[in-house]
Amino acid sequence: MTRTFFIFMLASSIASAQQAEPPQTKPAPLDWNATSSNPRSSALEIASRNKALGFARRDGFWSGTLEKNKPALIALHLFTRNNYSFSAANLTPGSRIRVSIFDQLGNPTNSEESMDDTSATVGISPAHSDRYYIRLELTEGDKAETCMVYSYK
Amino acid sequence: MRVSIALALLAFFAGNLAFARFSPLDEQSMQSAVFMETLSLPSAGEYFSAVDKRFEPNWTKLLRPMVPVATPLREHLALQIGVLIADCHIAIEAQDGQATKNYGRDILNLAKKLNVSQNVLARGQNISDLAEKGDWLTLREELDAMQNDIRLSMQEQNDYDLLVFLMIGSWVRQMEVACDLFIQTPTPDASELLIQPEILNHLLDRLHGLPEKSRANPMAQTFLGRLQGLQPLMTQGSLNPLPEASVQDISATMKAILNISSELPPKP
């Protein structure tokens, strides 16, 4: 009885998770005037911590409003043998961001992830030179102006 | 019994959490992913960083003197700026301060003809100062920022259409370098650096999206024809090595476009 119940619960958790992929948000267009905005400054500051390790920051960035259950998905072309670090930040108290990386087939990659109150950083050394996807999502909080930058070496 | 139910519930929530976090993306999500030129397209510095690890080239030997061609065509100016940006990244890889300054100066001179903003001029000075100091890492960042400032200036002046020529110039020079290195040292799995279908398709989409008058420009027509010819070579995915003959074909296309960049354009 207990075993059946356990299997049932496990199966239902898998089924509900597979249906749980949230819809995509339509992020705000690139805001070129936001160079001094706080989320970008904060994201750049986090990315700068890697500079001593030889990482160069890209000038391009994604910025927009993240809402709970409405992640942003960004496509990028990454090259094997490079190392990449993606940093996202917002300044909304009580919100948490998660940054995840998916390969060209949409499979989550074996990457590191770290989180604190309003920022998250994730790194990858791509197995292949190809298209990858970066997903930004709020795991706590309802809405937050967010910026993501990345660096490479 | 109670313990078993508690464990089952724990497994339920933990399972939900894990799968929600790590479940694959669906096709619709991937197709609707944001593609931004300033972020989704790799910078020349990023590409050469990967090329460096793969081929360990002598970057100094890859430097070439490039004298910008006087041209009345704004598309041709933008194309040359793109090529020079890639060349400047090669100079940074070669850690050649004087060459970096020279390319930076040439980029600036061409950009001035497109009436770019004061920001770009300031970047030019920064590049010269950083090259003097030999701060190669910051130089990569500054050159990337300069390219984006040129882009911004073009957008502000309603020259958005010119951007595709700048992107083509930079990409073609990057690909030419990688093709040459591959041909010198053929390594089957290194060909994945040459397979960039999304970038190629994006450039083609931009060319197709040009206003009719710009699209009718002989330079745009030539690029469309040449780049479309690369599509069959890039549809196989990066996991399958490219035959050497295909690399030769890509190289020939890149060199043909670069020749156009360094010649006086035909009159429309």
CA B160 to chain centre: 17
- Please give, rounded to a whole number of angstroms, the shortest distance from the CA of B39 to a CA of chain A: 5
User: Tens digit of pLDDT for each residue in B218-247?
Assistant: 899 999 999 999 999 887 665 678 888 999
- Please give, rounded to a whole number of angstroms, the shortest distance from the CA of B102 to a CA of chain A: 22
Q: Of the candidates A21, A129, A131, which has its C-beta nearest B26's C-beta?
A: A21
> String of b and e for A115-136 (b: at least 16 CB within 10 Å)?
bebbbbbbbbebebbbbbbbbb
pLDDT value for B6: 57
Cβ atoms < 10 Å from Cβ of B266: 11
pLDDT at A26 over 80: no
Residue B90 token pair: 């090669």
B3 touching chain A per CB within 8 A: no
Rounded distance, CA B266 to CA B255, Å?
18
- Please give, rounded to a whole number of angstroms, the shortest distance from the CA of B16 to a CA of chain A: 5
Rounded distance, CA B102 to CA B132, Å?
12
Residues B23/A17, Cβ–Cβ less than 8 Å: yes
pLDDT value for B266: 61
At B92, the pLDDT band (50, 70, 90 cuts) reads very high
Which residues in chain B are closer than 8 Å to A111, comparing Cβ atoms? none
H or E element in which residue A135 lies = strand A130-140
User: Tens digit of pLDDT for each residue in B151-176?
Assistant: 888 888 888 888 999 999 999 999 99
Lowest mean per-residue pLDDT among A45-59, A112-126, A133-147, B27-41: A112-126
pLDDT value for A11: 43
User: Tens digit of pLDDT for each residue in A82-117?
Assistant: 999 999 998 888 888 899 999 999 999 866 666 677
pLDDT value for B80: 94
- Average pLDDT in the B130-146 region? 94
Rounded distance, CA A8 to CA B12, Å?
9
Across all residues in chain A, what is the average pLDDT? 78
With a CB cutoff of 8 Å and minimum separation 6, the contacts of B53 are: A81, A82
- Please give, rounded to a whole number of angstroms, the shortest distance from the CA of A144 to a CA of chain B: 18
Q: Look at B49 and A79 and tell me if their CB atoms are within 8 Å.
A: yes
Residues 74-93 of chain A whose Cβ lies under 8 A from any Cβ of chain B: 74-82
pLDDT at B11 over 70: no
SS3 category, A22: coil
Rounded distance, CA A59 to CA B35, Å?
15
B174 touching chain A per CB within 8 A: no
With a CB cutoff of 8 Å and minimum separation 6, the contacts of B212 are: none
Residue that wins the pLDDT comparison between A15 and B244: B244
Which residues in chain A are closer than 8 Å to B1, comparing Cβ atoms? 2
Rounded distance, CA B25 to CA B36, Å?
19
Residue A131 token pair: 């298209």
With a CB cutoff of 8 Å and minimum separation 6, the contacts of B255 are: B176
Across all residues in chain B, what is the average pLDDT? 88
CA dist list (Å): B205 to B80, B142, B200? 21, 28, 9
pLDDT at B109 over 70: yes
Quick one: closest CA in B to A59, which residue? B145
Q: Of the candidates B25, B46, B137, which has its C-beta nearest A54's C-beta?
A: B137
With a CB cutoff of 8 Å and minimum separation 6, the contacts of A92 are: A118, A141, A143, A144, A145
Q: Which of B4, B10, B34, B149 has the most A C-beta neighbours within 10 Å, making it the best mutation to test the interface with A?
A: B34
At B2, the pLDDT band (50, 70, 90 cuts) reads low
Give the bridge partners for A123, in sequence order: A85, A112
Quick one: closest CA in A to B191, which residue? A129
